[in-house]
Amino acid sequence: MKIFLDTSNVEEIKQGVDLGLVDGVTTNPSLAAREAGKGKSFQDIIKEILNITPGPVSVEVVATDYDNMMKQALKISQLGANAVIKIPMTLDGLKAIKSLKEKRIPVNCTLIFNPIQALLAAKSGAEYVSPFVGRLDDIGEDGMQVIDEIKTIFVNYGISTKILVASVRNPIHFLRSAIIGADVITLPFDVLKKLPSHPKTDEGLARFLDDWKKVSPDGSFPL
């Protein structure tokens, strides 16, 4: 399972890449606006993210009609070879996905909340489908069940579209995504930092260090 960062913060991306854990990035208008408010233009932010990210970077159109989606998508695709166009799950969006597929421009279909939407996006030619599990949890549904159902459908029909789990809130989402066999998960930097942590790991490390002080009171390593 590949790990993407869901952010437009360049410093977070640099740290994730430096750890060797980040395979790509997803952005959205809300995240980009947050960073653009710090004095950088949207285009400059996206170009920098494309340059420092080793894999795909999803950049979302803000148009809702087919013609303007296509215009924006073509502009985004010219910013970098690793740019992926995020297109919303609508009828116009499905039409745009088909057209972009014909132009060999990869698409991440976003704002997916049920398996039918995922199947339609795949049929239209999306490279990725992004089900929003956290937002489903917020309204009392089981977001991860949707991932499981999408996986079953895609396996049934040999669909190569990648399942990209989005709106991730906690390490449990990460674990269940891996068990189900999702292709990609995109998560905020604060969730990424929680993944290696366990209280028993901290406890064990503290015990080892305390025991070592009995051998080397100043904590030095003699080799």
Domain extent listing, the chain: 2-197
The pLDDT tens digits of the residues spanning 172-216 come to 999 999 999 999 999 999 999 999 999 999 899 888 888 888 888
Q: For residue 213, indicate whether it is catalytic.
A: no
Q: Which of 38, 47, 75, 86 is catalytic?
A: 86
The pLDDT tens digits of the residues spanning 65-116 come to 999 999 999 999 999 999 999 999 999 999 999 999 999 999 999 999 999 9
Average pLDDT, rounded, for the chain? 94
* Cα–Cα dist 120/32, whole Å: 28
CATH level 3 topology of 2-197: TIM Barrel (3.20.20)
- Taken in order 131, 133, 135, 138, the sign of the CA dihedral is positive
* Cα–Cα dist 216/11, whole Å: 38
Phi then psi dihedrals of residue 38, to 5 deg: -95, 10
Model confidence, pTM: 0.93
